Amino acid sequence: MERKKFVNFETKLIHEGYDAEQYCGSLIPPIFQTSTFTFETAQQGERRFTNEEEGYIYSRLGNPTVNILEERMAALEYGEAALCFSSGMAAVSATLIALTKTGDHILCSQGVYGCTFGLLQMMKEKYGISHDFSSMETKAQLLEAIKPETVYIYVETPINPTMKLVDLQMVAEVAKERGIPVVVDNTFCSPYLQNPISLGCDVVVHSATKYIGGHGDVIAGVVIGNKEFMKKIAMTTQKDVGGIISPFDAWLLLRGLKSLAVRMDRHCDNAEKLADYLLSHLKVREVYYPGHTHHSDFAIAEKQMKKPGGMISFSLKGDKETAQTFMNELKLIKIAVSLGDAETLIQHPATMTHAVVPKESREKMGIDDALLRLSVGLESWEDLRDDIEQALEKV
């Protein structure tokens, strides 16, 4: 019997991909904590291995708990299918490797996560797969950056940690003219705030560790796209490289997803208030938040994001020592990488998440030594403001 499909996002978060009647009436999806599955006969095992019969074989190749999560994520991102991985970087690497071979070229947005940068460098040095960065501000700029050997365009938006935005609809239109797929890291937005596939892009990746999990207790990644491409990844870089998610971690993500909409609303509300506060502070040089009208990409945010998000980057008037002194004086806000947790987190990109990026490249991306990245949590925004205020007084 075909399961009911849901239209509204908040209902999909809770019900998509799961029918309690198929699992003894259990309200919550069960955790299928098993490495392998038995066959009724040797012939059935043969049929499953030769794809003549659907069914489970081994949890690296498929697991019921994981499949519920994959179906739900595909629906939330308007894709045909999804695959889950043991980390966000496992999802990114599986996607990038599946799409490339020696001699190919990748065109990237002007900034990417530090570990993605490291992966690109490794692919260049070890396998001869080149890459370039582009601000992707206009069609002409994008067309100029595309090479004959460009096999896909890889975009972060908002870009980590500068909060620059890329017009996904424009990029998708140019890419389709050239027959090039577009891969988007949608981690900063979650499916609640932005849906790249509905804007014309082809593949979406998430570090599900962040907003999808939402509670700082799981490491995971997700890739969403059309069935053909997901099958290609499943039969190559997922199956053979093996960076799969565990059933328990999939269960944690299913639990976290149920509150995604209400959490994102609170993250965004708190971030907007704190961004306004920081913008008015005399010791703050610059605030990078897409919800401000003075942000260079405010019009793009209005067009493709439901809300401006829960991430703020800002530069203090000073240097690395200034930034680190400020961080050390915080009492409520925690110094930690990652984002999307209930707790508010702050980190120093130049020496933490993007330390692997050479200084010259960091500066081209807009990452200076005074830049800080704030993942705004679910606390009272007034308490967060007061904590920032007392720390700024010590700078």
From 23, 47, 56, 60, the catalytic residue: 60
From 167, 185, 341, 369, the catalytic residue: 185
> Can you spell out the DSSP letters for 76-114?
HTT-SEEEEESSHHHHHHHHHHHH--TT-EEEEES---H
Residue 176 bears catalytic tag = no
Is the distance from CB of 16 to CB of 71 less than 8 angstroms? Answer: yes
Of the candidates 189, 127, 122, 119, which has an alpha carbon nearest to the alpha carbon of residue 154? 119
Helix axes of 64-76 and 247-257: crossing angle, nearest 10 degrees:
40
Of the candidates 352, 321, 325, which has an alpha carbon nearest to the alpha carbon of residue 336? 352
The sign of the dihedral angle between the CA atoms of 338, 344, 349, 352 is: negative
Q: What is the dihedral of CA 235, 236, 238, 242, to 10 degrees?
A: 110
Is the distance from CB of 309 to CB of 193 less than 8 angstroms? Answer: yes
Distance CA(202)–CA(199), nearest Å, equals: 9
Q: What residue spans of the chain are helical by DSSP H?
A: 9-15, 42-49, 64-76, 88-99, 114-127, 139-145, 168-178, 190-193, 227-233, 247-257, 260-279, 298-304, 320-329, 359-365, 381-393
Residue 185 bears catalytic tag = yes
From 48, 72, 164, 210, the catalytic residue: 210
From 48, 104, 113, 369, the catalytic residue: 113
Q: Which residues are catalytic?
A: 60, 113, 185, 210
